[in-house]
A and B are shown apart, each in its own frame.
Chain A
Amino acid sequence: MSPLQLRTYLRTMVIALVAILFMLGLPTLAAALDIKDLIAGLAEQDPNPAIEALAAADNPKAKAALQALAAGNLYRRLADGAVIIGEKDGEMYVVTNATTGDIEDMAKEAELEVIVVDAAAKALLAGAGTGTPIGDSGPPDFASAVKALNADSFAEKGKAIERLTALADSRAVRVLEALTEGRLFIRKSDGTTVIGDRSGNDVRLTLATTLEPAGIVAPAEVEPVVINNNLRNNIREAVGRLGLLVADASQRRHAADALIGAATPETIGLLRDAFAKETDAGVKSVMALALAAAAVVDGDKAARLAAVAVLSGSTDLRVRSLLQSRAAAESDLEVKAAVVAAFNSVQRNLVFIGYAANLFQGISLGSVLLLAAIGLSITFGVMGVINMAHGEMIMLGAYSAFVVQQIFRSVLPAAMFDYYLLFAVPVGFLAAGAVGVALERGVIRFLYSRPLETLLATWGISLVLQQAVRSVFGAPNKEVANPSWMTGGFEPIGGFTVTWNRLVIIVFCFIVLGALALLQRRTPFGLHMRAVAQNREMASVMGIAATRVDALTFGLGSGIAGVAGVALSQIGNVSPNLGTIYIVDSFMVVVFGGVGNLMGTFIGAMTLGIVNKFLEPYAGAVLGKIAILVAIILFIQKRPRGLFALKGRAAEA
Chain B
Amino acid sequence: MGKLARTMGMMCVAGVAAASAADAQAQGTIKVGVLHSLSGTMAISETTLKDTVLMMVDDINKKGGLLGKKVEAVVVDPASNWPLFAEKARELIAKEKVDVVFGCWTSVSRKSVLPVFEELNGLLFYPVQYEGEESSRNVFYTGAAPNQQAIPAVEYLMGKEGGEVKRWVLAGTDYVYPRTTNKILEAFLKAKGVKAEDIMINYTPFGHSDWQTIVADIKKFASAGKKTAVVSTINGDANVPFYKELSNAGIKASDIPVVAFSVGEEELAGIDTSNLVGHLAAWNYFESVKNPTNDTFIKQWKTFIKNPKRVTNDPMEATYIGFKMWAQAVAQAGTTNIDAVRQAMYGQKVTAPSGFVSVMNTNHHLSKPVYIGEIRPDGQFNVVWKTKGPIKADAWSKFIPESAKLTADWTFPWVCGNCSEPKFKSLSN
Contacts and interface: CB of A to CB of B under 8 A. Distances in A.
B270 interface: yes
Contact of A182 (B48, B203, B277, B383): B277
A221 interface: no
A187 interface: no
Interface in B352-395: 374-379, 382-385
- Interface range on chain B: under 10, 10 to 19, 20 to 34, or 35 or more? 35 or more
Contacts, number: 187
Contacts of A5: none
B244 A501 contact: yes
Contacts of B254: 180, 229, 232-233, 236
Contact of A475 (B43, B213, B377, B384): B43
Interface in B240-261: 240-241, 244-245, 247-250, 252-254, 257
B274 interface: yes
Nearest to A196: B377
B250 A489 contact: yes
A430 B247 CA distance: 31
Contact of A228 (B161, B213, B244): B161
A487 B385 CA distance: 30
B223 A476 contact: no
A581 B237 contact: yes
A621 B241 CA distance: 15
Nearest to B269: A476
Interface string A572-596: 1111110011000000000000000
Given A621-B208, A621-B213, 7 more contacts: A317-B223, A470-B43, A476-B270, A482-B248, A502-B248, A571-B209, A573-B209
A578 to B, nearest CB: 8
Interface in A546-568: none
B422 interface: no
A313 interface: no
Contacts of A492: none
Nearest to B80: A577
Contacts of B240: 477, 572-573
B160 interface: yes
A261 interface: yes
A622 B216 contact: no
Given A228-B161, A233-B254, A621 B44 contact: no
Chain A's interface size range is: 35 or more
A622 B204 contact: yes
Given A236-B254, A317-B220, A470-B43, A230 B269 contact: no
Contacts of A182: 277-278, 374-377, 382
The 3 tightest CB contacts between A and B, nearest first, are A477-B270, A317-B223, A499-B248
B167 to A, nearest CB: 11
B223 A321 contact: yes
B267 interface: yes
22 contacts: A180-B278, A198-B378, A226-B374, A226-B382, A227-B382, A229-B254, A317-B219, A317-B220, A470-B47, A474-B47, A475-B43, A476-B266, A477-B237, A477-B269, A479-B271, A488-B250, A489-B248, A489-B249, A572-B240, A577-B237, A580-B207, A621-B214
Contacts of B213: 358, 361, 613, 616-617, 621
Interface in B212-240: 212-214, 216-217, 219-220, 223-225, 237, 240
Contacts of A481: 272
B15 to A, nearest CB: 52
A16 to B, nearest CB: 29
A577 B163 contact: no
A130 interface: no
Nearest to B226: A321
B275 interface: yes
A236 B275 CA distance: 16
Contact of B277 (A181, A318, A361): A181
A322 B225 contact: yes
Contacts of B174: 622
A93 interface: no
Given A482-B272, A621-B208, A470 B39 contact: yes
Nearest to A236: B254
A219 interface: yes
B210 interface: yes
A198 B377 contact: yes
Contacts of B375: 182
